[in-house]
């Protein structure tokens, strides 16, 4: 049912012309569409019922995100609902959670997580941003980068360290000392740079107090968001491959549809094999998240999932350009939009090789215990 309504939404709302117009602008997605998604309740899928959400699981979330991915309409779902929402859920500040999660579920608030710095990477604790204690609370000083969803964000969950370890702090988007600017991703969507020049955080806005375990909840949320980004990637690759197969059936050269040539058929089949592997691993990862698999187990399947989906998505959309020939190289033809979205999703939250390294490290740890 959820899949049908998401598919209907995508059929009615997919508009690549509008998408092209939004490139290089903030927030980089159609706010009216995002409002509709809110009305459909999709922002509340993962939010527990006590915070006015639907309290459904990742299986439901994955279905919606995958379908939206087919129409390149998933932004800003995963950054807000999964990365920020799941980080909030695991925080220790009940009043802040209540306010932010219920706003998120209704679509009125759009919190985002500002956790990476420098050149990025998956190690959430590798940060320089400081939380300095003052009389009224703490002051944040640092520079965050690669903040997904920053364009439409109503505020940020900022990670920072102090003598006691790392903590997570809530900062409103118009807080004094906060400056948001953008770098532009392959698909024309903004990637936020958040500069914090002594931004004051009162005690009521501390989500997670600094400690050695202060980022555990965020790390778990990053894994969950990586799996949901993989679901979006599955939708992107499905649409990219479908478009390519359709072209191969219709494009005539040498007096025949090019899809009748065996060399091209076998190439297309290899892409289909990758798509089906991605679907299978994603299914297993979603099951692990919903089934409450243990830490190491769910971390490993999450990495395997993001790795396969990143590889499969970029490979399929890259080869899609080749199979289209010159027309695929034009900005006017839609298949290039799918390659660019795949590039963004592949790199966000760790690409295939980053997750392979993580998987290897986890395997080695696992073997020792």
Partner 1 sequence: MDFPTPTQDWNAMTDEEFRRRAADLFGTHVPRHLCHLNRRPRWAEVKDWYMTMSSHGWLVPGWPVEYGGMGLSPAKFLIYVEELERSGAPRVMDQGLMNLGPVLIARGSEAQRRKYLPRILSGEHLWCQGYSEPNAGSDLASLRTEAHLEGDEFVVNGQKIWTSVAFDATHMFALVRTDKTVKKQAGISFLMIDMNQPGVTVRPIRNIAGHEELCEVFLDNVRTPRDCLVGGLNEGWQVAKALLGFERIWSGSPRQSILALLRLERFAKLSGKMDDAGFVDRLTQIKMDVLDSASAYDRFAQIMRTGGSFGFEVSVLKIWATETCQRVTELMVEAAGEAGTLTGDVDLGGEAIDILYPFLECRAFTIYGGSSQVQRNILAKSVLNLPA
Q: Which is nearer to partner 1, 218 or 288 (CB)?
A: 288
**CA-to-CA distance for 142 and 157, rounded, in angstroms?**
13
* Residues 240/315, Cβ–Cβ less than 8 Å: no
DSSP 254: T
Q: Which is nearer to partner 1, 308 or 340 (CB)?
A: 308
Q: What minimum distance in Å lies between the beta carbon of 1 and partner 1? A: 19
**CA-to-CA distance for 148 and 76, rounded, in angstroms?**
8
Q: Which is nearer to partner 1, 35 or 249 (CB)?
A: 249
The torsion region of residue 310 among left (phi > 0), alpha (psi -120 to 50) and beta comes to alpha
Site mask, partner 1, residues 223-252, x = CB under 8 A? ----------------------x--xx---
**CA-to-CA distance for 63 and 58, rounded, in angstroms?**
8
For position 307 contacting partner 1 by CB under 8 A, the verdict is: yes
Q: Which is nearer to partner 1, 11 or 249 (CB)?
A: 249
| Number of residues forming the site for partner 1 (CB under 8 A) | 31
Q: Which is nearer to partner 1, 312 or 321 (CB)?
A: 312
Site mask, partner 1, residues 162-181, x = CB under 8 A? --------------------
Q: Which is nearer to partner 1, 100 or 317 (CB)?
A: 317
Site mask, partner 1, residues 266-295, x = CB under 8 A? x-xxx-xx--xx-xxx-xx-----------
* Residues 278/233, Cβ–Cβ less than 8 Å: yes
Candidates 73, 7, 86; CA nearest to 236 is: 73
For position 257 contacting partner 1 by CB under 8 A, the verdict is: yes
Residues of span 341-360 touching partner 1 by CB under 8 A: 353, 356-357, 359-360
* Residues 96/170, Cβ–Cβ less than 8 Å: yes
The terminus-to-terminus CA distance of the chain in angstroms comes to: 43
3-state helix, strand, coil in the chain (%, to 5): 55, 20, 25
Q: Which is nearer to partner 1, 213 or 363 (CB)?
A: 363
For position 31 contacting partner 1 by CB under 8 A, the verdict is: no
**CA-to-CA distance for 164 and 141, rounded, in angstroms?**
16
What does residue 168 show for φ and ψ, rounded to 5 degrees?
-125, 130
For position 296 contacting partner 1 by CB under 8 A, the verdict is: no
Q: Where on the chain is the footprint of partner 1 (CB under 8 A)?
A: 245, 248-249, 256-257, 259-260, 262, 265-266, 268-270, 272-273, 276-277, 279-281, 283-284, 304, 307-308, 353, 356-357, 359-360, 363
């Amino acid at each position: 049912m959820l899949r049908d309504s998401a598919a209907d939404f995508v059929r009615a709302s997919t508009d690549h012309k509008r998408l092209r117009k939004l490139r290089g602008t903030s927030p980089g997605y159609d706010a009216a569409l995002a409002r509709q998604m809110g009305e459909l309740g999709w922002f509340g899928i993962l939010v527990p019922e006590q915070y006015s959400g639907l309290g459904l699981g990742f299986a439901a979330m994955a279905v919606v995100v995958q379908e939206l991915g087919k129409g390149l309409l998933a932004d800003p779902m995963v950054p807000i609902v999964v990365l920020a929402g799941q980080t909030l859920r695991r925080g220790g500040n009940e009043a802040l959670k209540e306010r932010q999660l219920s706003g998120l579920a209704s679509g009125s608030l759009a919190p985002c997580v500002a956790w990476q710095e420098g050149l990025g990477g998956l190690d959430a604790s590798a940060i320089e941003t400081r939380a300095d204690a003052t009389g009224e609370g703490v002051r944040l000083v640092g520079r965050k980068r690669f903040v997904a969803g920053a364009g439409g964000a109503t505020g940020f969950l900022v990670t920072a360290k102090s003598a006691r370890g790392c903590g997570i702090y809530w900062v409103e988007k118009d807080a004094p000392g906060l400056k948001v600017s953008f770098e532009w991703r392959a698909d024309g969507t903004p990637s936020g740079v958040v500069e914090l020049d002594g931004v004051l955080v009162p005690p009521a806005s501390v989500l997670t107090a600094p400690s050695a375990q202060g980022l555990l909840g965020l790390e778990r949320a990053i894994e969950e968001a990586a799996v949901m980004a993989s679901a979006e990637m599955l939708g992107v690759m499905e649409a990219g491959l479908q478009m390519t197969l359709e072209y191969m059936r219709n494009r005539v050269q040498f007096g025949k549809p090019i899809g009748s040539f065996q060399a091209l058929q076998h190439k297309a089949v290899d892409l289909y094999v990758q798509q089906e592997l991605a679907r299978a691993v994603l299914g297993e990862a979603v099951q692990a998240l919903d089934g409450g698999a243990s830490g190491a187990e769910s971390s490993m399947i999450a990495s395997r999932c993001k790795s396969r989906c990143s590889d499969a998505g970029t490979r399929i959309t890259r080869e899609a350009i080749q199979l289209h020939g010159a027309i695929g190289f034009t900005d006017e033809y839609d298949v290039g939009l799918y390659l660019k979205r795949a590039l963004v999703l592949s790199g966000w939250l760790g690409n295939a090789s980053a997750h392979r390294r993580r998987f290897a490290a986890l395997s080695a740890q696992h073997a020792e215990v």
